[in-house]
Structures are given as C-alpha cells and as structure tokens.
Chain A
Amino acid sequence: MRLIPCLDVDAGRVVKGIKFVEIRDAGDPVELALRYGDAGADELVFLDITASSDGRDTMLAVVEKVAENLFIPFTVGGGIRTVDDARRLLRAGADKVSFNTAAVNDPDLLARSADEFGEQCVVVAIDARRRNSSDPSAGWEVVTHGGRTPAGLDALEWAVEVCRLGAGELLVTSMDRDGTKVGYDIELLQEVGAITNVPVIASGGVGTLDHLVAGAVEGGAQALLAASIFHFGAHTIAEAKAHLALAGVEVRPV
C-alpha cells in the first residue's frame, strides 16, 4: 500500500499551511517534499492550482528542484492541457502527470500522452460527485473546476473510458467528501475498482487513521492520498503506516 501526501501549490508556494512537528510551515514545496520523503512517504502528488501562465513556469522550476533532491516518485497535476505541457513536466523530472479537466475536454489527449510517454506516466484524476448523497446506487457524476462544473459524464463510465484510452492509474477524488474529514467514499472506490484494472488512488475525506485503513481494506484502493491529516501535524507518516500495518495492510516501513 502506497501512502501519498498531496501538496497544493500556488505560484510556487504550498498553500494550506503545512505543519511538521516543531517545524514551522515554510511554504516551500521543495523543503516540504524532502521532509515528507524523509518521513517515509511512498510517493508525492503536487497539485498546481496556479491560475496564471507565469505561475506555470514557476511550477516547472519547482519540479526541477524537487527532482534534484527527492528520490521517491512524484506526480504533478493541475492545468496540464497538452502533450507539450506534460512533456515539459516529465523532462523537468516529474515521474507521472495527472490529467483532469483537459482529459474531459479532449479525451484523445490521454491516448497521445500514453503513446509518447507510456501509460505508466499517465494518471487520470476523476473528481466524482454523488447524484444522491445518501444513495450510492444513483451513481456519481464527473465534475470539473474544483467541483463547480458538472462534466456531463458518468464517473464509472468515464473511468472505463480513460483506461481504454491509456490511463495507467486513476486518482479518484470524492467531491462530496473532499475537505470534510468524514472518510473516503468507500462505495465509489469499490465501484471504480470493480470495473477497471489499473491501480486506484483513493482521495478525498481522510480525517482519521481508520479512514486510511477503510480505503485500503474496504475500498480496495492500491494507494491512499491524504492532505490535511498530515499537513496540520495531526499524524505523521510513521503513525499512519503503523496503523495500517496493525490492520494487516502491508506497508513499506518508515
């Protein structure tokens, strides 16, 4: 089981404060990435939430610096619209790129990227929202732009389609749960897992260490992404891994 902290980056700085025990948030993505690497994270995801194009070049510089010093895999997502965008990030040192809105607008982008870089570099982020919050049988719709815009796609059908096009991994975020700390949407993970055959990264809603266990054991995910539970110092990577191990989930020791 991979444990993956996610860092939101805006114009080259990590947003949402990040607090390591007794170390003040520096906001520097490179510094924070290295700390997570040392702390035993299995992988990192950087989500570029920068709106401006200047900021994108800043992200490229961040990726280069991270790649110079961090010797675990990392994925970069956010605003990747073209194969060229992806190539620049991979050349700068990212191991994988994550497509979201651009894949919805131009699904063939996934095929072109998989052809050029291999499917193992192509992560598709699916932001899914329940059609009926209390009834999973009503299904999930894909949303874009941080959950504001319905994409007019069924999340499960979309998951199958992106795998057909060349996704090597799915980053499945519950927009109902994101930021709520009530736990992953387990039914969503189960459904996506049942109809696809690539690794699934669970995302959205982790508030406790038991939520991580649930994502692995009940949700059946291959990787667990979390942000605030680590950033705000509630738990260390080591604590999370110890908790998973106690529940019988195999993790790489810290």
Chain B
Amino acid sequence: MTTIAIVDYGIGNLRSAEKALQFVGADAFLTSDSARIAAAEAVVVPGVGNFGACMSALQAGGLAEVVRDCATSRKPFLGICVGMQMLFDGSDEAPRVPGLGVLKGNVKRLSDSERLPHIAWNTVAVSPDSRMFSGLGKNPWLYFVHSYAAVVTEESVTTHWTSYGHRFVCAVESGNVWATQFHPEKSGSVGLSLLENFVKAAS
C-alpha cells in the first residue's frame, strides 16, 4: 500500500482527506512530523480558510521547508484548496506573506460580481492528456469552496479551468506536483476517482 502523508498543521478538516485516500486504497495518515512526511511515498497538503493563517501555521509547525522539499522533489504531491494556493508566490489575501514559490504565479480574489465565497459544484474543462483527470471525462463536476484562485504565469504547467464570474485555473499538473482548488475529498465518486489517480501515480 502506498504511504501518503497528509500534512497536519492544525488547519481545517483533514479527516475527510484522510478517509477519502484510505477509501481508495492508500495507507494515508495525518502527521505533523517532518521525518514521516519526508519518508512517505506521496504527500498531500490540504488547507482551508485564510492564506496568511495557513502559511503561518505551516511555518509555525516547522513544516514549510519539508513541504517545499517534497514538492520540488520527484515525489507525488497534491495540494488541495489553500494547499494549492500556498504553492504559488503569494496571495492578495495576505500580501505580506510569501507563498512556497514552488509554482509561478499569484493568488487573486475572485470577481466581486458574484456571491463569495464561491460554494458550488462546477464542471471543469479538462486539458488533454491529463493524468489527474484520467478516466473522468472532459467536464467532470467537482465541489468548490473558496474566494481566491491562482493566476498561473508558467506556461509549462498544465492548467484546468472553470468559471465563476470569470474563468480561473482550478487545477494544475506540473511534473510531480498536482494541485486542485476544488475539494476532491468532497466531490463524491468523481473526486474519489481523482484521488485514486493520485494514488496510482504514487505507486
């Protein structure tokens, strides 16, 4: 069984991610221990709420470095929601707090022309040859809860898109790093299939 460390830095509902990964056959466990994170075959970083609060909590737990190391290694890595946002250079939500800088770009607030937070199931326009969305069709439905989203400035990164007020990147694949603005662990059978793809990539 593939060992997957879910980075526990005291933020949010981590149980869902753990249970969902276990459901699709991974040996997933919550941990705040750098050594266990480094030793796992794959790493998942969830996150909800405020970008600055999440980054501070990650740093306070002494976990920012190991998370960055894992993301820049060849180890399969999945960031979810604010766990995706933290991979970028920074966020308008907390302008003075740098992100992990693993992916190029910044996180911006969604258009105020729509009700925020964006809480909804949306269809995702999947880019061709996606490993993350393999077997899920061209326009799968996934569950979103957020007010910010990444603006990706790196062309080599595969981007998947959805719309709320305007189009935005809702998932990326860049080598070993996968990240989703939506919550696969809360997106029913489609989300579970996506997590299964991640577990397969890690085994």
Contacts and interface: CB of A to CB of B under 8 A. Distances in A.
A212 interface: no
A41 to B, nearest CB: 9
Interface in B137-179: 141, 143, 145-147
Interface stretch (B65-73, B100-108, B113-121): B113-121
B16 A118 contact: no
B192 interface: yes
A26 B120 CA distance: 30
A94 interface: yes
A72 interface: yes
Contacts of B141: 252-253
B20 A73 contact: no
Chain B contact-residue range equals 20 to 34
Contacts of B74: none
B15 A92 contact: yes
A71 B121 contact: no
A71 B49 contact: no
A56 B20 CA distance: 26
Nearest to B50: A118
Interface in A64-92: 64, 67-69, 71-73, 90-92
Interface stretch (B84-92, B124-132, B180-188): B180-188
B119 A169 contact: yes
B16 A93 contact: yes
Given A37-B188, A73-B145, A117-B49, A222 B115 contact: yes
Contact of A72 (B49, B53, B120, B188): B188
A119 interface: yes
B49 A118 contact: yes
Given A71-B191, A71-B192, A90-B13, A120 B146 contact: yes
B119 A95 contact: no
Contact of A73 (B15, B143, B192): B143
A67 B121 contact: no
Given A118-B48, A119-B117, A93 B13 contact: yes
B19 A68 contact: yes
Contact of B121 (A120, A121, A199, A252): A252
Contacts of B50: 118
B145 A120 contact: yes
B50 to A, nearest CB: 6
Contacts of A42: 121, 143
Nearest to A222: B115
Interface of A: 2, 37, 42, 64, 67-69, 71-73, 90-95, 117-121, 168-169, 197-200, 222-223, 252-253
Given A71-B192, A93-B13, A222-B115, 5 more contacts: A37-B188, A67-B19, A90-B12, A118-B49, A197-B112
Interface of B: 12-13, 15-16, 19-20, 23, 48-50, 53, 112, 115-117, 119-121, 141, 143, 145-147, 183, 185-189, 191-192
11 contacts: A2-B120, A72-B186, A72-B187, A93-B13, A117-B12, A117-B49, A118-B12, A118-B49, A118-B53, A120-B48, A168-B119
